[in-house]
Structure 1
């Protein structure tokens, strides 16, 4: 067997693991760590006949690694080396090395927390930081601490920052291996292409075919871009005898994936159109050219909405370097980057761990199954975000997987055993007793796969159509006018069939009209009620829209299985209608009855209604004809407060004056007088106004009240007697006139009186038992202020004579004496003789 760079560090690794239970190995792509290390460790004495368990992030990589190691031993897969991936296992009684995918590792740990029979767990390509890898490591570390002191843990990566991982593993030793990579020439675009990336990719492929030798590996963000690129290449005449076009992504069948990895025939060239699945672990034979779109598709979970959307984003620096390295695995190569050199300097230094952006419902269910109530009980490189984790717990309680205390229920354990998202597992278990178990498996597989209908997804979001298409493919019939991705449909049927056999489901009733109910089991928070044609309100309170008019647009209720979570109204990609009576039948425990007695701003009256509510949805709304006066009164008082006392109460001149007098007295002596300000009266409406509104429903009834009497009721008998003495309504001035006092400013009551009427008044009048001098507005004969004062004596002594000159000139017929202290007051032009 030819030597590889990793061989140099194998002796050191063996020695380390003989004395330590944890280690970190950093080795670049092409070093040989994935296939060399398990074979090198299999006969180590500390294993003592136990197995090696190696975690690979992807099924394709797991099968490829197991196949390669088996071929090195000259054996078939399933003998010394085997694998376990979802729905596919090849292990035997002699198997010593098991390569597993992440979900499988979690299931094995849940089944046996001590991992009896296994001596080491190897985490390969840990730099990808998938959710299950972080979870698996956390569980293994707790198992190591509490149950298996001898269990080894080896974390391997190509681009990992090793120090934080080593610290997490108890200051584990860090081993490093040199890679073996041939030189790769990097060619940048002048600038990143605008719009869709496929035309730029195709132009670059054609250029590379003309200028370079060897096969071409193209990195694209997703399956949609792969299909469109394949179609454009076909239009250019490629994909025929001398050029083979091979898609490579996770949703392909095993045979289709293997075809992309196998070498070409002589005189044939291969173009592999791949997602990020080809970044690590896999060696695509014959590749000398890499074309990198610089994009990848990642899931983003929003705790605010409880929804996950796939987002196309720019690759990080490690991902770009991994992709570039694919061109130098077998010899010198070329990497075309479809972005500029300036943009290359702006790439993110690292990828975001999935645990920080993913839907954490599966993680929360696994932790509850493990017996962990709080994630902080485990060791994490990055702990789960609190908001997303709280959202996950809420969903699991809604699905019945957790009890109100957060403990796992028997139903929750069954969900965890199925090894799929809790929503889909719940849907299948709820559907089976109704006879729809097999159909629920098909629906779950359909939701896990890309859309089987080609064309504009927004044109028809009805999931029932997809189920009917699956049935047609299964029965080998056709549906005229429907463009179908038959390979995707067959994969869905195969996966659904495996789930049916695994679960032992006997029910096989098929009725696509039941799709809405099944989706409601999985997505109760996305049950939606039509607001207007094509616009819906989700049970969680969010808005959603069918942007193109279609049959579903007019459905009263539907369930949205897939939305984009963009803007204020998410676009609905997949949905199915739901009958209201079916909803009430199966979700009756979550439907609440409300009796609402509320103020109606339109009619300015109290309206009473009874409602059936399901989350944010109002299922039934009827007028209530016989609300009690006790129910009406709070709503009426709330209405009066919202309208404002100024507009809602029957203020007369006397009532307003009384309120102002009380406000003045409270300001002057707050300990002994009540607060009658609008703010205070509003705050105490139930106390002083409520008893007088029993039986009233609207403002018309309020208008018949005597507000003056109601305000007087705020006072004790002693205060009512004191009111006139402390805050009189009028003051009799020397002329004999009774002048009203203006209390509109409680800090400064005003007496506005003609100057001639107060001749002979030596001092400013006082109120509040002499404590407060009144503010006098001294007026001209034309009732215009000529002086404002609180010190009348000072006015007579100083300012009067200047004022007198002015007034005498303007009003010569009027009486302007030289001695105002002893002059005769008058309310006429001149005093009577």
Structure 2
């Protein structure tokens, strides 16, 4: 047995009595403690005497899981695997006497699905919950239900450094919040004087800041970068520039565990510069760090429900993340944090990073919910899953046969839920058995051959034949993963690589678009594109296994060829002929044909000569929606008349008519197949038929097409302007004492009064007032020009006439 490590006093020790009281009285607590307070290693050990049964503690990352277990075991003077053990995908060290087991977050879900009562477990601790992983959110929701329905005695502690504790406490039914103020060493923050120039590359800018930091300050440095690619480029930018006593140590999730441990261990030769992803934000203590250099960026997975694809995006880090990073400089001594932005820019940072459940692919969550036998409404989630993304996930699972039409899990779904890979890959493995293990392992890992072209077969070949373009470390990880996946799988059917990929990605089978060898339409309806010069460009059919996730024309990163016969062999039951009748935007006419389709892919096409008239008419309506209604003067006048009626008449404005084309115009489109035919339609009759007999009678009475003049003549009313108007000779309107109106609201006609030569004399909407005011001036001017026509002094009592006096009278 190794010797116990002496117990140093840590800030968390001061609040242990409060934590014990909360757990004893309420069975649960939310513990807030800053980085370095000691919560990860102190709390589980301190709970051993007061918890009956095993203590499960969740960590968000594999390295943190193993490190926490080793540090607690070292404290007890034991090797890991006895009192303290760990469990993660592909590795575990524990035995029947293990009291504390540190696990990665997904392990808890499997434990709950296999044994909802968590037999033999006395407490569950969620560490670093502020990272808000999807597995942690689901695990907490399930634990809350288990405590409510089955295990009131199960102790629950949620621990974090930067989480907003109040919502979590409310989710737990008012759990006590215990706060440790901590005693981290002071960390000075230094910002840039001016923003980084837009022309300067991020990697070069942060490399310069790292050199400035390690030159001015003593101690080792920890630089935060968004991903492995940036780490490699910054490492190159630092080559030959760092002080002689500084060693550069990369640290990211895909590294071998031994290399990760080397990065966090003390440097034997002097100082070190650790170039790390967010893996170093929490849980880990990296020895000797006095300097933090923060690039201010974070990489997150974003799922687009519209495209059904996930992509990694680089975003500004949140204030909470930056504070977490800053704290790493004050774990063992006073430190300095250098930030690659100005103090003024800090205000634009978001307060917290988004929870993974808000932006992730929810296929795994949907499958776990179905296996649990609950909907998302049945569980209390800290952040409810977005409905659109969850619906998309369930559609995928139904397509894979994991859910039935009612959303219930199938026997096939139960089998794939037990497999430690995405449901797509698990589905493929259940069908292909061992033969699909290599492909599943490749697709479950980072691309081992970036820049080698998109052909997936190159990656498969690299597993058995060395390829200088392949990352050796990644290839070894893939081989190990494939070996693990093969365990328990049957031999399975022999399939080509394309057939295997198509089983996992039935919605991403791509067909080359006509006239372009590098652009593809995917069976799910989205577009994708690869480089023109890629060796796979020009293939008629491919299966796309990885893209950049863009919603439109996603860039293909990995794909494999598949033949049409292979596609038909796999999905013959989903390939069918469809009658297509639609408006073709290019030819500007109704197109009719029969298509043999798989999803959005057209495998064969033939003319459809006997398409029914109804289908053609409906397609023509789509043409009208594009070109607009073919208004004639008569149709405009009729619609304008209707607009003057009461509310029980239909709305005949263009937007209203376009919204209900099928209801009033469809029967009048028989035989109209082209744009010219549609533009030649007269829609007046169709508009008239929107009114019943009673409505037409009232319309003709209240808003007539003509105005009956005092002489009994019918004068056409023009309804095309802002006001209905009519034109009449001034003498024809003699005797008018009430201005003419139309419609139930008595809208006045705009009357243009003309001279005997039909030239406008006056436009009025109040003839009686005109007689009283302006008529005298008109009479004075007109009597000399038209002496043979009557110009009475009082036109209100004169008889209307169109006749002139006889000559000489």
| Cα separation, 2, equivalents of 1:772 and 1:142 | 69
| Cα separation, 2, equivalents of 1:634 and 1:731 | 42
1:710 Cα deviation (Å)? 10
Q: Report what 1:489 is aligned to.
A: 475
| Cα separation, 1, equivalents of 2:807 and 2:428 | 100
- Aligned residue among 203, 207, 214 for 2:208: 203
- Aligned residue among 253, 257, 262 for 1:254: 257
> Which string of whole-angstrom CA distances, capped at 9 and with x for unpartnered residues, describes residues 190-236 of structure 1?
34534433223333444444444443322211101111122233354
After TM superposition, list the pairs within 5 Å mapping 1:579-728 onto structure 2. 579-591=563-575, 593-598=577-582, 606-635=590-619, 646=630
| Cα separation, 1, equivalents of 2:457 and 2:596 | 28
- Aligned residue among 690, 697, 719 for 1:745: 719
- Aligned residue among 454, 466, 486 for 1:500: 486
Q: Report what 2:117 is aligned to.
A: 114
Q: Report what 1:463 is aligned to.
A: 456
Q: Report what 1:217 is aligned to.
A: 222
Q: Residue 784 in 1 paired to residue 770 in 2?
A: no
Q: Report what 2:310 is aligned to.
A: 308
Q: Report what 2:379 is aligned to.
A: 378
1:237 Cα deviation (Å)? 7.8
Q: Residue 182 in 1 paired to residue 185 in 2?
A: yes
Alpha carbons of 1:65 and 1:727: their partners in 2 closer, same or farther (altered >3 Å)?
closer
1:87 Cα deviation (Å)? 0.9
1:586 Cα deviation (Å)? 3.0
Instruction: Work out whether residues 302 and 308 of structure 1, in 8 Å CA contact, stay in contact via their aligned partners in 2.
Output: yes
Worse overlay, 577-586 or 414-423: 577-586
**Counterpart of 2:341 in 1: which secondary structure?**
coil
Q: Report what 1:229 is aligned to.
A: 234
**Counterpart of 1:258 in 2: which secondary structure?**
helix
Q: Report what 2:446 is aligned to.
A: 450
**Counterpart of 2:384 in 1: which secondary structure?**
coil
| Cα separation, 2, equivalents of 1:558 and 1:370 | 36
> Which string of whole-angstrom CA distances, capped at 9 and with x for unpartnered residues, describes residues 773-799 of structure 1?
999765445332345689999999998
Q: Report what 1:150 is aligned to.
A: 153
Q: Report what 1:25 is aligned to.
A: 31
Q: Report what 1:521 is aligned to.
A: 503
**Counterpart of 1:376 in 2: which secondary structure?**
helix
> Which string of whole-angstrom CA distances, capped at 9 and with x for unpartnered residues, describes residues 405-437 of structure 1?
2222222212211132222222333443xxxx4
Worse overlay, 681-690 or 346-355: 681-690
1:312 Cα deviation (Å)? 1.9
Q: Report what 2:131 is aligned to.
A: 128
Worse overlay, 401-410 or 220-229: 401-410
| Cα separation, 1, equivalents of 2:749 and 2:347 | 78
**Counterpart of 1:245 in 2: which secondary structure?**
strand
**Counterpart of 1:622 in 2: which secondary structure?**
strand
- Aligned residue among 362, 373, 389 for 2:364: 362
**Counterpart of 2:239 in 1: which secondary structure?**
helix
- Aligned residue among 100, 105, 130 for 1:102: 105
| Cα separation, 2, equivalents of 1:170 and 1:682 | 53
> Which string of whole-angstrom CA distances, capped at 9 and with x for unpartnered residues, describes residues 435-487 of structure 1?
xx43x333333233333225xx4x83333333333342xxxx33xxx532211
Instruction: Work out whether residues 107 and 419 of structure 1, in 8 Å CA contact, stay in contact via their aligned partners in 2.
Output: no
Alpha carbons of 1:830 and 1:533: their partners in 2 closer, same or farther (altered >3 Å)?
farther
After TM superposition, list the pairs within 5 Å mapping 1:731-770 onto structure 2. 741-745=715-719, 750=726, 752=728, 755=731
Question: For structure 1, which runs of at least 5 residues remain unmatched after alignment?
Answer: none
After TM superposition, list the pairs within 5 Å mapping 1:316-331 onto structure 2. 316-331=318-333
| Cα separation, 2, equivalents of 1:58 and 1:508 | 36
| Cα separation, 1, equivalents of 2:201 and 2:736 | 93
Instruction: Work out whether residues 751 and 774 of structure 1, in 8 Å CA contact, stay in contact via their aligned partners in 2.
Output: no
Instruction: Work out whether residues 660 and 744 of structure 1, in 8 Å CA contact, stay in contact via their aligned partners in 2.
Output: no
1:83 Cα deviation (Å)? 1.2
Q: Residue 91 in 1 paired to residue 104 in 2?
A: no
Instruction: Work out whether residues 517 and 532 of structure 2, in 8 Å CA contact, stay in contact via their aligned partners in 1.
Output: no
1:379 Cα deviation (Å)? 2.4
**Counterpart of 2:715 in 1: which secondary structure?**
strand
| Cα separation, 2, equivalents of 1:791 and 1:823 | 19
1:752 Cα deviation (Å)? 4.2
After TM superposition, list the pairs within 5 Å mapping 1:555-574 onto structure 2. 555-566=539-550, 568-574=552-558
Alpha carbons of 1:740 and 1:823: their partners in 2 closer, same or farther (altered >3 Å)?
closer
Q: Report what 2:3 is aligned to.
A: none
Alpha carbons of 1:611 and 1:772: their partners in 2 closer, same or farther (altered >3 Å)?
same
Aligned pairs, number:
788
Q: Report what 2:45 is aligned to.
A: 39
Q: Residue 351 in 1 paired to residue 353 in 2?
A: yes
Instruction: Work out whether residues 127 and 157 of structure 1, in 8 Å CA contact, stay in contact via their aligned partners in 2.
Output: yes
Q: Residue 52 in 1 paired to residue 55 in 2?
A: yes
1:120 Cα deviation (Å)? 1.2
Instruction: Work out whether residues 727 and 754 of structure 2, in 8 Å CA contact, stay in contact via their aligned partners in 1.
Output: no
Q: Residue 76 in 1 paired to residue 72 in 2?
A: no
| Cα separation, 2, equivalents of 1:112 and 1:361 | 22
Alpha carbons of 1:160 and 1:772: their partners in 2 closer, same or farther (altered >3 Å)?
closer
Instruction: Work out whether residues 520 and 528 of structure 2, in 8 Å CA contact, stay in contact via their aligned partners in 1.
Output: yes
1:59 Cα deviation (Å)? 0.8
**Counterpart of 1:308 in 2: which secondary structure?**
strand
- Aligned residue among 519, 529, 533 for 1:545: 529
Q: Report what 1:413 is aligned to.
A: 414
Instruction: Work out whether residues 525 and 538 of structure 1, in 8 Å CA contact, stay in contact via their aligned partners in 2.
Output: yes
Instruction: Work out whether residues 53 and 100 of structure 1, in 8 Å CA contact, stay in contact via their aligned partners in 2.
Output: yes
Q: Which has the larger radius of gyration?
A: 1
- Aligned residue among 2, 26, 51 for 2:7: 2
Instruction: Work out whether residues 512 and 518 of structure 2, in 8 Å CA contact, stay in contact via their aligned partners in 1.
Output: yes
Instruction: Work out whether residues 298 and 312 of structure 1, in 8 Å CA contact, stay in contact via their aligned partners in 2.
Output: yes
Q: Report what 2:286 is aligned to.
A: 284
Alpha carbons of 1:684 and 1:831: their partners in 2 closer, same or farther (altered >3 Å)?
farther
Worse overlay, 82-91 or 416-425: 416-425
Question: For structure 2, which runs of at least 5 residues remain unmatched after alignment?
Answer: 1-5
**Counterpart of 2:86 in 1: which secondary structure?**
strand
> Which string of whole-angstrom CA distances, capped at 9 and with x for unpartnered residues, describes residues 368-398 of structure 1?
211112x232223222233333333333223
- Aligned residue among 768, 772, 785 for 1:810: 785
Instruction: Work out whether residues 630 and 680 of structure 2, in 8 Å CA contact, stay in contact via their aligned partners in 1.
Output: no
1:257 Cα deviation (Å)? 1.6
Instruction: Work out whether residues 296 and 316 of structure 2, in 8 Å CA contact, stay in contact via their aligned partners in 1.
Output: yes
Alpha carbons of 1:292 and 1:704: their partners in 2 closer, same or farther (altered >3 Å)?
closer
Instruction: Work out whether residues 211 and 242 of structure 2, in 8 Å CA contact, stay in contact via their aligned partners in 1.
Output: no
**Counterpart of 2:360 in 1: which secondary structure?**
coil
